[in-house]
Amino acid sequence: MFALLLILTGCQLLWSCPAECTSINEPVPILKSVAEQLSSGSYLFSFESADGTYREELGIVSTDSKTSDDDLEVSGIYRYINDWGQEVEVRYTADKNGFLPHVRYISNGEAYKPIRIEPLALMGTHS
């Protein structure tokens, strides 16, 4: 009797596992990947995958004229689909003042185009 109960419990656990449980280790194809590194240390990278995940980041190195120290200013965006099917978008900046994220949930399925950062134009505005 105990063995039958154990077998039925095991079967219930298998049946209750959603389809996502079986595909968690499957690789997600990368649709686009870009990376640029400048000699100044500034950089740009982005990628987009088939599951809707997207990330883009720009890092600008600038030199403080008073201290001759290098500062790094980072800005970026990433998006993904959460467990409830909502698209989550996080835009952020990070610099000497800290990390500042802005989170937005997109639940109505609106189309959203990725931001386009022109690295050479932006880097020319920093010394």
Q: What is the mean pLDDT of residues 84-110?
A: 85
Q: State residue 50's pLDDT score.
A: 92
Number of domains the chain contains? 1
- Classify residue 118: in a domain, yes or no: yes
- Classify residue 11: in a domain, yes or no: no
- Classify residue 13: in a domain, yes or no: no
Phi, psi of 13 (to 5 degrees): -65, -40
- Classify residue 6: in a domain, yes or no: no
- Domain region containing 68: 25-123
- Classify residue 41: in a domain, yes or no: yes
> Mind spelling out the 3-state secondary structure of the chain?
CHHHHHHHHHHHHHHHCCHHHHCCCCCCCEEEEEEEECCCCCEEEEEEECCCCEEEEEEEEEECCCCCCEEEEEEEEEEEECCCCCEEEEEEEEECCEEEEEEEEECCCCCCCCCCCCHHHHHCCCC
Question: How do residues 19-64 score in pLDDT, each as one tens digit?
Answer: 555 456 789 999 999 999 998 889 999 999 999 899 999 999 988 7
pTM: 0.61
- Classify residue 9: in a domain, yes or no: no
- Classify residue 20: in a domain, yes or no: no
- Classify residue 34: in a domain, yes or no: yes
If one compares 85 and 91, the residue with the highest pLDDT of the two is 91
